[in-house]
Chains A and B, each alone.
Chain A
Amino acid sequence: MINLEQIKKDIVESQVWKSIFRHGYEDTPRNRVLMVTGNVWMHLHPAKVRRHAVRMRFTWCMGGLTFLMFLLTVITGIYLMFYYRPVPQYAYADMKYLEFDMPFGMLMRNMHRWAAHAMVIFVWLHMFRVFLTGSYKPPREFNWIVGVLLLVLTLLLSFTGYLLPWDQLAIWAVTVGSNMARATPLLGHEGPFAEFVGANPIYDARAFLFGGGDIGPHTLLRFYILHCIFIPLVASLLMAVHFWRIRRDGFSGPPL
């Protein structure tokens, strides 16, 4: 006869198991705290939070959902990266391939795009909520600044991703969006005082962004690398600071 209790005991008390999970299962205050502090993912949280801070009508869940949307775009984005080549000859064809031939390709692309839009909306609402509750006030001033940087990075992530499908919508939206750069005072060739700096169409702020005078293969590669590596990396670092700071400064709440 197989003794399940004995097997369970053998597993849970084995050296391997104990090296991974350092706390028991019983619902004790000690285990509740260890659940958070002994887990690298959970320890983004403090072990204890103030009662009102977990209420949905206080936080609207917007910060957490922004992070969830980020994770969702990372996961779906990695899937898309397997099938997408950031080269003009292939990029658009790969989109079609993705939509019609890849298992779950269309679903992954849809999710990636809609989660990106949702992330922009959620991050705005998160900022609005933090403003409403005055949660940027001392001692959380610095975290608000980090939050503003993350907001800008969210928009840049979305904007650089916009070019990648390499369809009409993509290049013209990015053209219109980046045309601002050529009007940068001093640094853009159509901007005020550009003649004093010597900016010209192939040597100015927009050319730096595009990797040339116009949107082309160089721009696609540049935006691809910004979108898939550089901005997510910087955003992840800032998110680590942002979350850690929330823990350090404590959840905001009414004075005690």
Chain B
Amino acid sequence: MAEAEERSRTIVVDDKIHTWPHLVRGEFLVTIFVMVAMTLWSLLVDAPLEEPANPARTPNPSKAPWYFLGLQEMLVYFDPWYAGVVLPTFIIIGLMVIPFIDINVKGNGYYTFKERKWELLTFFIGFHVLWVVTIIIGTFFRGPGWNLFWPWQRWDPHKVVALTNVDLPYLVGLRDYWVQAGFGLFLVLLYFVVSTWLFYKWVIWIKGKEFMVRWGAVRFAITSFLFITMMALPVKMFLRLVFNIKYIMVTPWLNI
């Protein structure tokens, strides 16, 4: 026993190796490899250059740079103030708070799925499903009028798409302006209250009461708000694509 312990301690001491040459050598080789690849790519594929800028001629479709196409795709489901400003701000803040809301001490410095299932799944939904997939849709599946086209389909600028979207309050039969606005506000608040409650129950169920005590109210509030806000995007996509619902809440100032 004591001997095994002794041996493991020696291995610990041996764990460190000299940066020069072990790490520097690797960096050097990878640098050469990537530089060769970049040079070949740049020799073979030319950067695009279209006709001179003409503010009077708007191309259809006008696409943002590809890395922002996820945000542009979200404009289908949300208004610009939300999809273009508020949501990106939440994404940046949400990324920044990750180290502070994740109090799981396991999985620090090594690959593991088992020890951090839920953290990894959340990141997977946010990054791979929502961010990357919307970029792919925006890049390859959107044509003139921001209509959906298959990548192999001809872009028909005269494609007619029936505009059958309605606002949810109108759909359920409300006609009075202020009743509609009040109903929409109520639904949005209800979504957050119910989701927060479900999230609370779910965390208790998955991680236990003891975890919730350690996690604390502030961490819970921030995490649930960001998570529910993130999940509002697929919810809204679903409502739009299946029920043709445009807005949940309609007011003179902003629509959600």
B80 and A183 within 8 A (CB): yes
Q: Report A-chain residues with C-beta under 8 Å of the C-beta of B152.
A: none
Q: Report B-chain residues with C-beta under 8 Å of the C-beta of A58.
A: 111
Using A152-B92, A167-B53, A173-B64 as known contacts, say yes or no to A134 and B80 having CB atoms under 8 A apart. no
Say if the beta carbon of B52 comes within 8 Å of chain A.
Answer: yes
Say if the beta carbon of B207 comes within 8 Å of chain A.
Answer: no
Using A51-B17, A168-B53, A168-B57 as known contacts, say yes or no to A176 and B31 having CB atoms under 8 A apart. no
Q: In residues 111-134 of chain B, which contact A (Cβ within 8 Å)?
A: 111-112, 116, 120, 123, 127
Q: What's the least CB distance linking A40 to chain B, in Å? A: 14
Say if the beta carbon of B179 comes within 8 Å of chain A.
Answer: no
B109 and A95 within 8 A (CB): no
**A1-9, A10-18, A187-195, A227-235: which one contacts chain B?**
A187-195
Using A92-B52, A111-B39, A214-B55 as known contacts, say yes or no to A190 and B80 having CB atoms under 8 A apart. yes
A106 to B96, CA, bound (A): 39
Interface size range on A against B? 35 or more
A42 and B24 within 8 A (CB): yes
A256 to B14, CA, bound (A): 11
**Please, what's the 1-or-0 string for A167-180, where 1 marks a CB less than 8 Å from any CB in chain B?**
11111110111011
A49 and B16 within 8 A (CB): yes
**B97-105, B165-173, B223-231: which one contacts chain A?**
B97-105
Considering the complex, give the chain A residue whose CB is closest to the CB of B58. Answer: A172
Using A54-B23, A110-B47, A180-B71 as known contacts, say yes or no to A191 and B85 having CB atoms under 8 A apart. yes
Considering the complex, give the chain B residue whose CB is closest to the CB of A177. Answer: B64
A253 to B85, CA, bound (A): 37
Q: Report A-chain residues with C-beta under 8 Å of the C-beta of B111.
A: 58, 132-133
Q: Report B-chain residues with C-beta under 8 Å of the C-beta of A42.
A: 19-20, 24
Q: What's the least CB distance linking B249 to chain A, in Å? A: 12
A164 to B252, CA, bound (A): 39
A191 and B99 within 8 A (CB): no
**Please, what's the 1-or-0 string for A48-70, where 1 marks a CB less than 8 Å from any CB in chain B?**
11111110101001001100100
Using A72-B38, A128-B127, A148-B92 as known contacts, say yes or no to A173 and B65 having CB atoms under 8 A apart. yes
A180 to B86, CA, bound (A): 10
A134 and B107 within 8 A (CB): yes
Q: Which of B31, B49, B99 is within 8 Å of A144, CB to CB?
A: B99
Q: Report A-chain residues with C-beta under 8 Å of the C-beta of B30.
A: 56, 61, 64-65
Using A92-B52, A114-B47, A167-B52 as known contacts, say yes or no to A183 and B84 having CB atoms under 8 A apart. yes
16 further contact pairs, Cβ within 8 A, besides A124-B127, A133-B110: A45-B23, A53-B23, A54-B26, A110-B47, A111-B42, A133-B107, A135-B109, A136-B99, A137-B104, A167-B51, A173-B65, A190-B81, A191-B80, A191-B85, A193-B254, A215-B55
Q: Could you list 30 A-B pairs, sorted by A, with CB under 8 Å?
A: A32-B18, A35-B20, A48-B16, A48-B17, A53-B23, A92-B52, A112-B47, A114-B47, A120-B67, A131-B123, A132-B120, A133-B107, A137-B104, A137-B109, A138-B99, A141-B99, A144-B98, A148-B92, A155-B67, A159-B68, A168-B51, A168-B52, A168-B59, A169-B48, A173-B64, A177-B64, A181-B85, A183-B85, A255-B109, A256-B12
Q: State the A residues within 8 Å of B (CB).
A: 29, 32-33, 35-36, 42, 45-54, 56, 58, 61, 64-65, 68, 72, 88, 92, 95-96, 99, 106-107, 109-115, 117-118, 120, 124, 127-128, 131-138, 140-141, 144-145, 148, 151-152, 155, 158-159, 162, 165-173, 175-177, 179-185, 188, 190-193, 214-215, 252-256
